[in-house]
Amino acid sequence: MATSEALLSPPVGRPALRRLSSMTATERDIEADDHFVVVPERLFHRRSKTHDGGFGSFATAIETARNELASMNLEDSSSSPSESSPETPGTPICTPPEIPSADTFAFAFDIDGVLIRGGQPIPEAIEAMKLLNGENEYGIKVPYIFLTNGGGKTEAERCVDLSRQLDIEVSPAQFICGHTPMREMVEKYNTILVVGGEGEKCRQVAEGYGFRDVVTPGDIIKDNEATTPFRKLTKEERENSRQRDSATTKIEAIFVFADSRDWAGDIQIILDLAMSKGGYIGTLSETFDEGPPIYFSHSDIVWSAAHDNVRLGMGALRRMIEMLFKDLTKGKELETIAFGKPQIGTFEFATRLLQQWRKDEHRINRPPETVYFVGDTPESDIKGTNQFNEKAKNTWYSILVRTGVYQEGTQPAYKPKVTVNTVLDAVKHGMARELKEKPKIYNGVLASNIAAISPFTLEREMKLPSRTTIEEMSESSTPSVSTPPRVHVS
Ligand SMILES: [Mg+2]
């Protein structure tokens, strides 16, 4: 899969970051550029209270403020300090004193079923993030990125959500979602059909990527209501859908950006185009081999939502379309393309993103020796990590959690290096493994004393038998720590 260097083009020196409030950031704020982090509500309030004297003496507050001002690295010319207030989006708030970063390892996280479930944070996720952000006995930060198959919003909007949900600062520069790689195809296709997501959202995402002519199923139904006999547009949908002449519109590619909200209608329209003469709506091919290519942002059959049992995902839609095409064409195969995990290209993309993030945010200009990938779906998270580990020059170490798709007592289709209860256990396992077996001095403290972050001290709230807390693969299948680190040089 081709990738865009433009997306990850390195800024000169350390990039200037705008800081947006997770509670008040607007679309206009986040559309301005990619160089920002989203600051959760808590951090704004903490700062306010400090200056109110709530967390210490007046003298301490002044000293803290002076230190923070001295360490500011904000170059947003659009807002001057005099007009800033902690509640104003885009406000350059003070940067905390410098905290050293772990330079030999990093984490990558799936989101649904690992950090978030049914729109709510998994409780241990917040503590796990605090550990990574320096709230550990060594006072070190550990770099991390997010790699989700989900989508349906812009990367920037999703970062605002994550910041609010997990109470951490999140930047679009550490975030990849299922449809992120689709932005690399804007030069290849002129007119495309975009499917899935809420209302007009995915059209906006596609146009934000640079696609020039974006058609939605709503546009097609608006032009000919007979397209979907049982699906009528609402008044709002009718107003938002664009009038166009389907007979002269050639759809060059179909992109399923996010989960369909109307499976019957979307399947009908995708199949109509797959069986069309060269992508012209309303035509029917005689050979059924001239339809536009169909891209899915991932191929997960199920995912972990609010319901106790897993729910059908985009991969299920993909299967249905392929099977129905075969039935309708009396045996023709439809080949579709999926991005996302477990595709190797997605992990290559993640490697470059992580390298850039470590360089820009942590000032580490070399790849990590080990990346701990934490996921809940064996078929995408674990399969992808294990396969990529086979070809990557550094180690990708798969960790499966029990808070999502994977069900305790079943045999995962792809075996992780280790299985733990929650993302907090995963972080503690990775940190313990690194700091115990590769002792190193961080902040003047020898990092081999890891009692406080041992995964085995963590029975906590999980009501699982203690024997299920952690399951590690046999030593023979775990990379030896005495093996010289394989460093990826690119
Ligand atoms: Mg997941």
Ligand 1 centre to CA of 16 (Å) is: 32
Query: Residue 255 Cα, ligand 1 centroid: separation in angstroms?
Result: 21
Tell me what pLDDT residue 30 has: 67
The rounded Å distance from CA 133 to ligand 1 centre is 22
What's the 183 CA to ligand 1 centre distance in angstroms? 22
Task: Answer whether residue 453 is part of any domain.
Answer: no
Split into its structural domains, the chain has a count of 2
| CA of residue 401 to ligand 1 center, whole Å | 10
Residue 37: its pLDDT value, please? 77
304 and 347 part of one domain: no
Helices 41-52 and 58-70, interaxial angle, to 10°? Answer: 130
**Distance in Å, CA 271 to ligand 1 centroid:** 28
pLDDT of residue 16: 61
Q: Tell me the Cα Rg of the chain.
A: 24
Indicate whether 314 and 221 sit together in one domain: yes
Distance 116 CA to ligand 1 centre (A): 9
What pLDDT, on a 0 to 100 scale, did the predictor assign at position 237?
A: 97
Of the residues 295, 321, 338, the one at which a domain ends: 338
Distance CA 302, CA 316 (A): 7
Partners of 460 in the β-ladder:
none
Q: Assess whether 238 and 329 both reside in one domain.
A: yes
Is residue 332 located within the same domain as residue 234? yes
Which residues touch 318 (CB under 8 Å, ≥6 apart)?
Answer: 256, 296, 299, 336, 338
Q: In sequence order, which ranges of 179-313 are alpha helices (DSSP H)?
A: 201-209, 217-223, 235-240, 263-274
Tell how far the Cα of 376 is from the centroid of ligand 1, in angstroms.
5
- Based on the fold, state whether residues 332 and 206 are members of the same structural domain: yes
Average pLDDT across each block of 10 residues of the chain; the chain has 490 residues. List them in order.
39 58 70 70 53 38 43 36 40 59 94 94 96 88 95 90 92 92 93 97 95 97 96 96 92 97 97 97 96 96 91 96 98 95 93 92 92 97 97 97 92 96 97 77 50 36 39 40 28
- Residue 44 C-alpha to ligand 1 middle, in angstroms? 30
Are both 172 and 185 inside the same structural domain?
no
Cα(81)–Cα(44) distance, integer angstroms: 15
Q: Tell me the three state secondary structure of residue 60.
A: helix
Rounded to the nearest angstrom, the distance between the alpha carbon of 403 and the centre of ligand 1 is 9
How far away, in angstroms, is 87 Cα from ligand 1 center? 33
Residue 38: per-residue pLDDT: 76
Q: Does residue 426 share a domain with residue 304?
A: no
CA 216 to chain centroid, in Å, comes to 24
Tell how strand 445-446 and strand 441-442 pair up.
antiparallel
Single out the residue of 448, 453, 390 nearest to residue 426, CA to CA.
453
Whether omega before 342 lies within 30 degrees of 0, making that bond cis, reads yes
Ligand 1 centroid – CA 43 distance (Å): 28
Give the pLDDT confidence score for residue 280 in this predicted structure.
96
Q: Do 331 and 347 fall within a single domain?
A: no
CA distance 488 to 490: 6
The answer to whether residue 223 sits within a structural domain is: yes
The DSSP secondary structure of 331-389, one letter per residue, reads: S-----EE-STT-HHHHHHHHHHHHHHHHHHH---S--SEEEEEES-IIIIIHHHHHHH
Does 60 fall in a domain? Answer: no
CA 473 to ligand 1 centroid distance, Å: 21
Among the three residues 282, 314, 338, which one is the final residue of a domain in this structure?
Answer: 338
pTM exceeding 0.75? no
User: Is residue 36 one of the residues assigned to a domain?
Assistant: no
The whole-angstrom separation of Cα 439 and Cα 414 is 31
Indicate whether 267 and 375 sit together in one domain: no
Instruction: Find the 186 Cα to ligand 1 centroid distance in Å.
Output: 28
Domain at 151, CATH number: 3.40.50.1000
Q: Does some domain include residue 123?
A: yes
For the chain, give the longest Cα–Cα distance.
Answer: 82
Cα–ligand 1 centroid distance for 72 (angstroms)? 36
CA 172 to ligand 1 centroid distance, Å: 19
Q: Are residues 219 and 313 in the same domain?
A: yes
Query: Per the domain annotation, does 95 fall within a domain?
Result: no
- pLDDT of 134 reads 92
Is 354 part of any domain? yes
Looking at the fold, whether 388 and 289 belong to one and the same domain comes out as no
DSSP string across 324-345: HHHHHTTS-----EE-STT-HH
329 lies in the same domain as 427: no
* Cα(251) to centroid(ligand 1), Å: 32
Range of the domain at 301: 180-338
Task: Single out the residue in 338, 366, 385 at which a domain terminates.
Answer: 338
Instruction: Tell me whether residue 58 is in a domain.
Output: no
67 CA → ligand 1 middle, Å:
40
